[in-house]
Amino acid sequence: MTDGNGKKDVASFKVKAGLAQMLKGGVIMDVVTAEHAKIAEDAGAVAVMALERVPADIRADGGVARMSDPELILQIMEAVSIPVMAKVRIGHFVEAQILESLGVDYIDESEVLTPADEAHHIHKHPFKVPFVCGCRNLGEALRRIAEGAAMIRTKGEAGTGDVVEAVRHARSVFGEIHRLQTMADEELFTYAKDLGAPVALVQEVKELGRLPVVNFAAGGIATPADAALMMQLGVDGVFVGSGIFKSGDPAKRAAAIVKATTHFRDAKILAEVSRNLGEPMVGRQVTDIPDEERIAGRGW
Amino acid sequence: MTKPVVGVLALQGDFAEHIAVLRRLGAETREVRLPADLAGLDALIIPGGESTTIGKLAAEYELIEPLRKFGAARPVWGTCAGAILLSRDATRAKHGQPLLGLMDITVQRNAFGRQVDSFETSLDVPALAAVADDNPPFSAVFIRAPMIESADAPDVEVLASLEDGTIVAARQGKLLATSFHPELNQDDRFHQYFLSLLP
């Protein structure tokens, strides 16, 4: 006889990356209140991201953006049965310790908030709670994974409603993976150096033909067509921030984006869900935003 | 013999992982998103994912009745969220969350707690001896997992339990439910076992 049914191993990397696997093909929605969270859950969101202001407001208001009030996060956790994620500032490991103690399901170490450390990200491996981090390219993604991120999202430019940066970052990651796959094994060492990424992870990506963790798109997705565009480019799912609750009819738009993410190759369904959604978020063209106001550049 | 065609419900979740294992085992596969995709399938897997999302999309695209009909005649396996969908009754489900009611089991959603309580463990699964001569413990990944609270009919066979007696895998005829995710392992025994249920 075997000796199965043994002890439980919590918080292994497989368990942390595993939750992201379960979110694939889904939409994760930014919410600032329990009321929003319920609308998101009813619309079919796979998870909600709790934050104190959506990125469009952070952009408009200025000032320092921080982790949300724990009271608000607890209210959101109480209100819905789907996973709840919350954001911490880059490098702010104490905000992460606080979120872990609340029992949030995922932490987003996010460039949308004001960075707390301009050289280092959080050492994420020791935490029981998994982390998702943003990236603009393969090197950035692999640095975050080396630090312990169990999920990656391309950054896009949050709070703009302009999908152009999300596309740029997804194309950059997938393009670099394609290049990597055409390289001889001896070329990987120098390529790893150029990327600023650990060689073991570069070798793993070549073998897998993809990132070793789930990769969502974020930053500027505002319509069902935007979501389907990112899915067709090859991401595993989408984050929608300001795009839903800054639009005219959040419940309807949220449900439409969920359907578009599932049926992302079915143009007939995409046409049908895109009809009569009301006003989209106003949006701001990324090319009109001066470099110093752009968020995606935060992260090292 | 022609290859079996196994569908994987692809509304949301880790359907690609199931498809990869099935291909490894020589089955033909198809992603199922609309009722028409069920035509001609020999069996179906409902993957892990968010059960409220999968249930909502299944209801909106009128898949509930076709899935019930399919499961009345052919093998269906639900992993995690899929096990919730297969069940007759689910506690802690979201109000109005649709269930297929195919298997006479009561499932408790998010039974082990939140993500920080998710875990890996090894399970004795004697039934897998049918597909593997050597039958070592099966490494099982539980992610915000449901438990099978009760087997509600005499023909529901418990395939695996945790040390404390919690049921985490069960079979009723051609229907299979697991709280955990064999598709996240490189160990194909559960998929082989499921394919052995095909006529």
pLDDT > 50? residue A157: yes
Burial of residue B65 (CB within 10 Å: 0-12, 13-18, 19+) is exposed
Q: Which residue in A has a C-alpha nearest to residue B48's C-alpha?
A: A22
Name the nearest CA neighbour of A96 among A116, A79, A76. A116
Across the range B172-197, mean pLDDT stands at 97
Question: pLDDT digit string (tens) for B22-45?
Answer: 999 999 999 999 999 999 999 999
ipTM: 0.96
Name the nearest CA neighbour of A225 among A261, A184, A175, A196. A261
The pLDDT mean for chain B works out to 96
Nearest-angstrom CA–CA distance, B172 and B83: 12
Q: Give the count of domains, chain B.
A: 1
Give the pLDDT band of residue B72 (cuts 50, 70, 90): very high
Contact A24 B125 (CB under 8 A): no
Amino acid at B138: F
Question: pLDDT digit string (tens) for A105-156?
Answer: 999 999 999 999 999 999 999 999 999 999 999 999 999 999 999 999 999 9
B65 is annotated as an active-site residue: no
The percentage of chain B sitting over the pLDDT mark of 90, rounded to a whole number, equals 94
- Residue A1 has a pLDDT of 32
Phi, psi (degrees; rounded to nearest 5) at A216: -95, 170
pLDDT > 50? residue B150: yes
Say which of B13, B119, B162 has its CB closest to residue A5. Answer: B162
Across the range A165-172, mean pLDDT stands at 98
Chain B residues within 8 A of A8 when measuring between CB atoms: 119-121
For residue B137, give the CATH number of its domain. Answer: 3.40.50.880
Number of neighbouring beta carbons within 10 Å of residue B5: 14
pTM: 0.96
Instruction: State the catalytic residue, choosing from B80, B120, B149, B191.
Output: B80
A193 is annotated as an active-site residue: no
The pLDDT mean for chain A works out to 95
Across the range A78-83, mean pLDDT stands at 97
List the domain range (segments joined by +) for residue B166: 5-196
- Residue A3 has a pLDDT of 43
Give the pLDDT band of residue A222 (cuts 50, 70, 90): very high
